[in-house]
Amino acid sequence: MDDVLKLVIGIDGGATYSHGVAATLDGRVLAVTHSNSMNFTGSYQKEVRRRMNELVRELELQLPFSNEIIHYTVSAAGIFNEATVDQKEKLCGKIYPWKQTRLVGDSVAGYQAATLGKPGVLVICGTGTSVIVGDLESKFTHLGGWGPLLEDKGSAYWIAVKAIRAAIDDFENTGEETAITSTLCELYEIKNIQGIVPIIYHPEFTRDKFAILAARIDKALDGKDKVFQNICEEAGKEVAKLTIKTVEKAKLDISPLPIFFSGGVLTYNHYAQKSFEDTLRDRFHIMLSQPKLPTVLGSVIIALKDSGVTIDSDLVAQLNKSYFEVDELSKT
């Protein structure tokens, strides 16, 4: 048994994409795999479980024969902080060993990846929007993440819906003229904007496809349409307002305030990112940066901590370096 390699597995079940990692207790990543969305609230439970099972099986195929998985951490969109017993049973039952598995919200894993557990703020603005603040006593305050039916202001989904609405207003002559209209017609090869109705109401046009559409419109317009620019600036401002509310609720008083951001909207959308930053700087003295690690490594860190491993800078560096090396190899 001394020759058995002890490992942990971390899963990042995002609203658009999912990722899995297997790592040794000293932080060496041995296997990496990727899949589609694994949103606990947005997908059928059967489909989520199928994808979770696939991620684990694909990781196992890359591992040495003689190994023992001692802890699993699964982070999933649609989970608030720590999962309830019912959520854990529905999502993880019979896939992972019950006592060795922890199911948390994707923002919890993201926070670990961003701050390495230190006080600070993580703002996630991709398919959805949420903010998590960790204080000096390691207590968390979490706002947002309620999903598209309850708006998720500023998210990629929200931007896409606003853009489609602007195109409809243009078509009906009740709003400003916008290049969004012709862009959507070109993207979906439709004669006019009325043709988008059967496309977006099709059951397979899921939440993540709206998020992808927001990025496609942004790329196509390339900052040349004022209406879309205004939508993106409003998105950034809404996310900043949620961030300010979360920090104030948490009563986190640090200056400069470390704020980490992730998700496609704040990473790649220039107007949203600038509006977000400007609004925050009007309220706080901030240090703004992207997370130190990918979210999936936040799940790995939680699993390592649950295994009694001390997380230090050397281990973090090892995790980060080996993750990108193995991920690159997996693509060849």
Domain range summary for the chain, segments of one domain joined by +: 5-116+293-330, 118-291
Q: What is the mean pLDDT of residues 284-293?
A: 94
Strand pairing class (17-24; 29-36): antiparallel
**What span, in angstroms and rounded, lies between the C-alpha atoms of 125 and 66?**
40
Q: Does residue 151 register a pLDDT over 90?
A: no
Residue 148: predicted pLDDT: 83
Q: What is the mean pLDDT of residues 261-267?
A: 93
Architecture of domain 118-291: 2-Layer Sandwich (3.30)
Class of domain 5-116+293-330 (CATH, top level):
alpha beta
- Token duo for residue 157: 């989904």
Q: What is the mean pLDDT of residues 271-277?
A: 98
Residue 38: predicted pLDDT: 67
C-alpha to C-alpha distances, 258 to 142, 158, 276, 285, 296, nearest whole angstrom:
16, 26, 14, 9, 21
Predicted structure pTM score: 0.84
Written as one string, the DSSP assignment of 28-51 is -EEEEEEEE---TTTS-HHHHHHH
**Topology match between the domains 5-116+293-330 and 118-291:** yes
Residue 15: predicted pLDDT: 66
Residue 215 burial (10 A CB sphere; 0-12, 13-18, 19+): middle
**What span, in angstroms and rounded, lies between the C-alpha atoms of 16 and 157?**
11
Half-sphere exposure of 78 (CA within 13 A, CB side): 20
Using 50, 70 and 90 to split pLDDT, how confident is the model at 28? very high
Phi-psi region of 151 (alpha: psi -120 to 50; beta: other; left: phi over 0): left
Strand pairing class (29-36; 67-76): unpaired
